[in-house]
Amino acid sequence: MAIFKGAGVAIATPFYADGSVNYDEFGRLIEFQIANGTDAIIVCGTTGESATLSEEEHVDVIKYCIDKVAKRIPVIAGTGSNSTDTAIMLSQEAEKAGADAVLVVTPYYNKATQKGLIAHYTQVANSITIPVIMYNVPSRTGCNILPATAVWLCKNVENIVAIKDATGNIGQTIEMMSMADGCIDLYSGNDDQVLPILSCGGLGVISVLSNIAPQETHDMCQKFFDGDIAGSREIQYKAIKLINALFMEVNPIPVKTALKYIGIEAGPMRMPLTEMEPEHAEILKKEMEAFGLLK
């Protein structure tokens, strides 16, 4: 059974001006997501600035999110690390806290061979009982899960069940799914490729766009599942300029700026991320207005 189907939000982590986690605003963002059709919440991923959370903060943010959601929709905890031991520790803490699954990014900086990826994911998965979603984003990590590796892991490790595919390489995705014999639950990791991934058998998206447009992102997926391909395509086409604006600068700089525009005080980014350039922020605001998010 799939962990979720539809649009899962890669949720931002709001901060106060002093850099501490703003749990009050985080709670507002969670409630906004649930009220507007989000199908799952992915906490402490890239968009949640997990790279600059301390291990204690990382666990606390996961626990808060799980408690706040209170089983209304699935919560997937980002627990990846370039250290296998750290990924194991975070995954075990997420399971203890009640996470429905974990999202584990490939090791970054030190990277890994395909043999190393098999060992890494196997050890992390074997340390917990909840499902594991592999996260393949070579543009950030410099490390690519090749199709044969992804398929091997899903066929040989019981609780490795899915992949967030942010490769941007549809040819690789098709190759992987052609080899999978149905053993991989596929989620898009790129908002500009939701429809293509769904057409490859995908179950949905883990989305940055959903932070500010949860209902529309949900609808893009649901229309596809309901057989309204034209309706799904219409939303994908309508959203493309906004999606491009959300990635004019490195994620999550634009989306945290966008959250402020819709009245959610996401606060500053943690260094080394900096505030959005004013000219880019104006383009983002214009695209939000064109999409209907701002009055």
**Torsion angle defined by CA atoms of residues 51, 57, 58 and 62, in that order, rounded to the nearest 10 degrees:** -140
Q: Which residues are CB-neighbours of 121 under 8 A, at least 6 positions away?
A: 104, 132, 134, 153, 157, 160
Tokens of 250: 């490195």
238 has catalytic annotation: no
Task: Write the DSSP symbol of residue 277.
Answer: P
DSSP strand E in the chain: where? 6-10, 40-43, 75-78, 101-105, 132-136, 160-165, 185-188, 204-207
| Number of helical (H) and strand (E) elements in the chain, helices listed first | 12, 8
CB atoms within 10 A of CB 1: 6
Q: Which of the residues 5, 63, 68, 164 is marked catalytic? A: 164
The burial of 236, by beta-carbon neighbours within 10 Å (0-12 exposed, 13-18 middle, 19 or more buried), is given as buried
SS3 state at 278: helix
Q: Which of the residues 5, 63, 135, 187 is marked catalytic? A: 135
**The residue to which tokens 């979720």 are assigned:** 4
**The residue type at 89:** M
108 has catalytic annotation: no
Which residues form the catalytic set? Answer: 135, 164
